[in-house]
Amino acid sequence: MVSLDYGDLLRYVIDILLVTYLIYKLILLIRGTRAVQLLKGIMVIVVTWLLSKYFQLTTLHWLMSQAFTFGVLALVIIFQPELRRALEQLGRGRLFSRSHSIQDEETVRRIVHEVTKSITYMAKRRIGALIVIERDTGLNDYVETGIAINGRVSSELLINIFIPNTPLHDGAVIMRKDVILAAGCYLPLSENTSISKELGTRHRAAIGMSEVSDGLSIVVSEETGQVSFAANGEVTRNLTEEQLAEILTEQLHPTTKSKSMGSRWQWRRKHG
């Protein structure tokens, strides 16, 4: 009879907990993406392989074995967006993160004031807008798709960029701290199938950017004038000026205590 000491038992428990946590994070990562349907297809192949082995269906078993042989390369190709997203999230973890926020309080106050002021102005007039604020994940690849600005952020500049029928009003503005890097930038659209059909391209681009980076996206709907905020693959809609200012302050400078902590969890959140 095999006896286990407390050291071995503790090691096994930790091993099981770590594997369980990894599986849990994997489920969260692929939830709402096309990877769910692909995993169902993989399960069909696995079940077919087991049945063919049990009933000794030689030809079918050989075909399924070949599928497993080349399956690793196929999975890397098929799941490339999900794998990239997972690695980027791993790299944004606290172990590797520099700060995950803009630490200068004066800079944060300036960004929040200017962005909120411009968003409020455009929301009242139903001027469509999409603003992305870079954090730890570099966005140079997307900055290069737009027109370079490299100007200090101001509400007047942001408003002028998004005025309809001007050269830069289409696309997104990307900011780094209190500098507007570029306007008219193209962002990746989210492939999340659970996003509401009523959300347009701007919202899908905002969610898509939040899926592949830790950037903060603010959207003004051209149809309704509603303000939305996207981060970490989730979108919060119908924000007031005060709510937007609070969530931006919290996200850009987490050490700053909000006046009403926890209030943002009461806002109506829609994943689409």
Same domain, 72 and 120: no
Domain span at residue 79 reads 6-91
96 occurs within a structural domain: no
pLDDT tens digits, 60-85:
989 888 887 787 777 777 667 667 76
Which residue would you say has higher pLDDT here, 271 or 244? Answer: 244
Kind and range of the H or E element at 65? helix 58-69
Compute the average pLDDT of residues 144-165: 95
**What tens digit of pLDDT does each residue of 177-195 get?**
899 999 999 999 987 878 8
End-to-end CA distance of the chain: 56
Mark which of 91, 115, 147 sits at the end of a domain: 91
Tell whether 64 and 177 lie within a shared domain. Answer: no
Nearest to 134 by CA among 80, 79, 172: 172
pLDDT digits (tens, 9 = 90+) for 86-140: 676 666 554 444 444 455 888 999 999 999 999 999 999 999 999 999 988 888 8
Cβ contacts of 182 within 8 Å, gap of 6 or more: 143, 144, 145, 146, 147, 148, 149, 173, 174
147 and 75 within one domain: no
DSSP string across 36-61: HHHHHHHHHHHHHHHHHHHTT-HHHH
pLDDT in tens, 11-65: 889 999 999 988 887 777 666 555 666 777 778 888 998 999 899 899 998 988 8
- Do 43 and 158 share a structural domain? no
CA-based torsion, 29, 31, 34, 35: positive or negative: positive
CATH of the domain at 190: 3.40.1700.10
Whether residue 58 sits in one domain with residue 135 = no
194: how many CB neighbours lie within 10 A of its CB?
10
Categorize the per-residue pLDDT at 261 as very low, low, confident or very high, splitting at 50, 70 and 90. very low
Q: 8 CB contacts (<8 Å, ≥6 apart)?
A: none
Reply yes or no on whether the pLDDT at 227 is more than 70: yes
33 assigned to some structural domain = yes
**Which of 62, 91, 120 is the last residue in one of the domains?**
91
Q: How far apart are CA 81 and CA 209, in angstroms?
A: 12
Total domains in the fold of the chain: 2
